[in-house]
Amino acid sequence: MDRTTTMKFVRKFSLAILALLLAGFLLPERKVVPVVGASDHDWNKNSFWYEPWGSSGVHKGVDIFARKGTAAVSTTDMLILYTGQVGKGGNVVLGLGPKWRLHYFAHLEQIAESTGFYVSASETIGTVGDSGNAAGKQPHMHYSVVSLIPYLWKMDSSTQGWKKAFYQNPIEYLQTAQAHAP
């Protein structure tokens, strides 16, 4: 790589890092339920940190059940960090939202082709499905919220309880979204 190409790369990389750093502080936190038409009847309010839960030990999110193909939407304004496939999650979308929180959407049937670098709250990111280790099970979308800044006071003595400093209870997030729904 010549010097000009290297400098262009460094400049683009630096701008991307700066955008990510600022996103944690500047993105507004508009909370939306991530499955169109879903309500608290479509998820089990006791499923966060439920155990035993397969090879992961505890369930670090919430499963929102809906008909296959139901629109899955962004829960808040986010910078999209990854769209693609992972083993257990199948088709997934991972975004960085306000307060340095990662929003993880898994088991999607499809990922919206229009999902770019930035999505607004309520923007379609895919459809509910049964991909990954949900194959053959009732269609749903797994939703997790992970803080990059640890909330040390949330740790407890439960199995893997130290991870609660990072994994936020998405059910609390969804309840707040419902309370502010129009």
Short-list 42, 61, 169, CA closest to 106: 61
Q: How many CB atoms lie within 10 A of CB 67?
A: 11
CB burial of residue 32 (10 Å; 0-12, 13-18, 19+): buried
Calpha distance 23→84 (Å, rounded):
22
> Yes or no: is domain 27-179 CATH 2.70.70.10?
yes
- pLDDT by residue for the chain (182 residues), tens only, comes to 677 777 777 777 777 767 766 666 666 678 899 999 998 899 888 888 777 655 666 788 999 999 999 999 999 999 899 999 998 999 999 999 988 899 999 999 999 987 788 899 999 999 999 998 889 999 999 999 999 989 999 999 888 888 889 999 998 888 887 776 66
Residue type, 63: D
Calpha distance 146→158 (Å, rounded):
18
Q: How many residues comprise the chain?
A: 182
Short-list 148, 16, 174, 164, CA closest to 80: 16
Instruction: Say which residue the tokens 């999902």 belong to.
Output: 115
Q: What is the pLDDT of residues 50-65, one digit of tens each?
A: 776 556 667 889 999 9
Name the pTM for this structure.
0.83
CB 49 within 8 A of CB 158: yes
pLDDT score for 86: 93
pLDDT score for 27: 63
Give Cα 172 to chain centroid, integer Å.
14
The CA distances from residue 150 to 15, 136, 168, in Å, are 25, 35, 10
